[in-house]
Chain A
Amino acid sequence: MNSVVASAVTPHGYLQAQARWSPLEIAFWLAAFLPFVLFPTYLSLANQIAITALFALSLDLILGYAGIVSLGHAAFFGIGAYAAGIFSKYVWGEPITGLVFAGLCAGLVGFATSFIVARFKHLTLIMMTLGIGFLVHEIANAAHWLTGGSDGLQGVRLWPIFNYFNFDLWGYTAYSYALAVLFIVFVLSRRLINSPFGLALRGIRENSTRMPAIGADSRAHIRKIYTISTAIAGLAGGLLAQTTETVSLGSIDFQRSADVVVMLVLGGAGHLYGGILGAIIFMVARDQFSGINPQFWYFPMGVLLVAVVMFLPGGILGGLARLTARFRKNPS
């Protein structure tokens, strides 16, 4: 991508060009409105996709940008989901405050665990995240009085958004709400990636051992991005609890942690859009294939995953980026 920049540009112009919104991005966000017109009967699926995309985006921030592989990220999704659900049950049903509460709870636990995560690398780190995931899952399972355990959390009731938009049966409000949150978090994440901190994260991903030698406190950077990422995962979980008005143990289990890694790898980690694209492919494929055969829908998913990892090591977006770079180099 960088090689195509003409050598005449100034350092400042170069940085500016990197942070600019491309027409493709604008087109993507406009296309996010299409389901309202084209698939009005699929809005609840669109809602699920937006929520999952937000969850995948949160993982991309740590995996794609700082190189931290987590197999327990559903812990924070689940904490957010339970926090939002319990908040609506015992405090009030106002959605925005409930969502903020979900993000705060997940971010707080994320901050506490970030001290462990920042100390380890490679397999040890993956095992740590896996362990944290199992721990949180079992706590949610055991705290039946609060979470409903394996029966799920019942009695979640939401007020209309801004006391005006009712959560309707078709998912108009739900999808609009989730899409709005996704977009806001995306814009903030995009700012973060194009900030000095974002550059430092890419430095950690590219060469974490070199970072101290240029004076960087990598651990502080990792603690910070991990906390931010877990808070976003909590927002995603909160959205799911609020728009479905129920929370099950499935929102916090290992399967969800694994699925989100698969989505990110499919779409391409380290592109911000990779997780979103992966979530769209994964969720639509699940919807379609499970319609054909509800038990074996992971089979085509497995084939797709193996194919992408083998032939497109940077995921779908990584492959596209390489193709366009090659095309721009020798436009024939």
Chain B
Amino acid sequence: MTTPVLSTHKLNKSFGQLVVARDIEIALPRGVRYALIGPNGAGKTTLINLMTGMLRPDTGSIMLGEEDITKLEPQARVKRGLVRTFQINSLFPDLSALESVTLAVLERRGDAPVWWRQLPSYGEAADEAYGILKSLSLGDHAYRTTRELAYGQQRLLEIALSLATRPHVLLLDEPAAGVPKEESEGLFAAIAGLSDDITILFIEHDMDVVFRFASRIIVMVSGGILLEGTPQEIASDPRVREVYLGGANHG
């Protein structure tokens, strides 16, 4: 068996009495599309925060390939290919879409500290950024300021920013949050069309979408992993039904 691209070992995190991550063990193989589901408050976003370094675990470790990244700063993890998007748009309101993605490209290439050369001499970076925007059907909106973009386009820009970092592992926190159902199909089609080299883990509440786009599913409940399996296994598991139908259901 090959080494998983991303794995966690006995990851724990509590805020006071509240346990938000309980002995989390996951191992994501290369290229798999994982869905992370569970009722609200199950700790899904917390898990992404832990893996990307926005939160520090109390105990446990996180491995990216062979490397222990538990103590690395968020930006250092991004440099190594572990990238996330945000459930609530976290963009650069006054930059144009093209400027935002170009910035991410320049940061990846290590050109961002350069202050003596002008941006126009980084045409390839801008072309690459434009290509990413175009692949997410934002080509016509590349020169518009982020704040002028429609909400659905801003969700796509979130993904464009993460793609510009050339991720190996992409963690998408409810990529379609707030997007009407008709549009979310298109958004997930764009995600499904991403390169097979990229391992994807996405949080999503819409079960139709989950069963269509995920090759494997992880179910979380109150900070712990309940089970992991193929969509068929998950769909037929009585415990999942109980979680979703018995009590704590918001999804």
Residues of A participating in the B interface, judged by any CB pair closer than 8 Å: 2-3, 5, 7, 9, 11-12, 14-16, 18-19, 191-192, 194-200, 202-203, 206-207, 209-218, 220-221, 224
21 contacts between A and B (CB under 8 A): A2-B99, A11-B127, A11-B129, A16-B120, A192-B115, A196-B125, A199-B102, A199-B119, A202-B95, A202-B99, A206-B91, A206-B92, A206-B94, A207-B90, A210-B90, A213-B74, A213-B161, A216-B103, A216-B112, A224-B113, A224-B115
Collect the chain B residues with CB atoms within 8 Å of residue A7's CB.
140, 143
User: Which listed residue, A14, A197, A218, touches B115 by the CB 8 Å rule?
Assistant: A197
> How far does the alpha carbon of A214 sit from the alpha carbon of B118 in the complex, in Å?
21
A169 CA to B79 CA, complexed, in Å = 58
- Please indicate the chain B residues that have their CB under 8 angstroms from the CB of A209 in the complex: 90
- Apart from the given pairs A11-B126, A195-B118, 7 other A-B contacts in the complex at a CB distance below 8 Å: A2-B96, A11-B142, A15-B119, A16-B120, A213-B90, A214-B104, A216-B75
B83 x A213 contact (CB < 8 A) = yes
Whole-angstrom distance between the alpha carbons of A164 and B93 in the complex?
51
Shortest C-beta distance, A4 to chain B (Å), equals 9
Q: A15-B126, A213-B84, A214-B161 are in contact. Are A196 and B94 (CB under 8 A)?
A: no
**Nearest Cβ on chain A to B24's Cβ, whole angstroms:** 21
Contact of B11 with A by CB under 8 A = no
B86 within 8 A of A: yes
CB atoms of B123 and A197 under 8 A apart: no
Q: Looking at the complex, which one of B74, B86, B95, B164 makes contact with A203 (CB distance below 8 Å)?
A: B95
Closest 9 CB pairs of A and B: A215-B78, A11-B126, A206-B92, A197-B115, A212-B74, A214-B104, A12-B123, A212-B75, A16-B120
With A2-B144, A2-B145, A196-B106 known as contacts, the answer to whether A15 contacts B116 (CB < 8 A) is: no
Distance in Å from the Cβ of A279 to the closest Cβ of chain B? 24
Residues of A within 8 A of B116 (CB): 191-192, 195
Residue-wise, chain B 105-140 has the 8 Å CB interface mask toward A (1 for contact) of 011100111111111101101110110000000001
B98 at the interface (CB under 8 A from A): yes
CA distance A167 to B162 in the complex (A): 57
Q: In the bound complex, what is the Cα–Cα distance between A82 and B141 (angstroms)?
A: 52
User: Which residue of A3, A192, A198, A212 is within 8 Å of B145 (Cβ)?
Assistant: A3
A19 to B115, CA, bound (A): 13
- With A2-B96, A202-B95, A221-B112 already in contact, the answer to whether A18 and B148 are too (CB < 8 A) is no
Residue of A nearest to B112 (CB): A200
Across the interface, B108 reaches (CB within 8 A) one of A206, A215, A221, namely A215
Q: Which residues of B contact A (CB under 8 A)?
A: 52, 73-75, 78-79, 83-84, 86, 90-96, 98-100, 102-104, 106-108, 111-120, 122-123, 125-127, 129-130, 140, 142-145, 148, 161-162, 164-165
Q: How far is the CB of B11 from chain A (nearest CB, A)?
A: 20
> Would you call B91 and A207 a contact (CB within 8 A)?
yes
Q: Which of B78, B90, B112, B140 contacts A196 (CB 8 A)?
A: B112
Whether A200 and B143, one on each chain, are in contact in the complex, defined by CB atoms closer than 8 angstroms, is no
B140: chain A residues within 8 A (beta carbon):
7
A218–B78 alpha-carbon span in the complex (Å): 13
Shortest Cβ distance from B85 into A: residue: A213
Quick check: A216 and B107 within 8 Å, CB to CB?
A: yes
| Residue of A3, A195, A210 touching B148 (CB-CB under 8 A) | A3
Which among B52, B114, B143 is the interface contact of A9 at CB below 8 angstroms?
B143
Q: Quick one: which of A19, A197, A206 contacts B112, CB cutoff 8 A?
A: A197
B102: A residues at CB distance < 8 A: 11, 15, 199
Most buried by A among B91, B112, B123: B112
A269 to B148, CA, bound (A): 22
Given the complex, which residues of B lie within 8 Å of A5, measured CB to CB?
A: 143
State whether B107 touches A200 (Cβ < 8 A).
yes
Q: A213-B52, A213-B90 are in contact. Are A196 and B114 (CB under 8 A)?
A: yes
Whole-angstrom distance between the Cβ of A9 and the nearest chain B Cβ: 7
Q: How far is the CA of A16 from the CA of B122 in the complex (A)?
A: 10
Contact status of A212 and B78, CB under 8 A, knowing A5-B143, A200-B107, A207-B91: yes
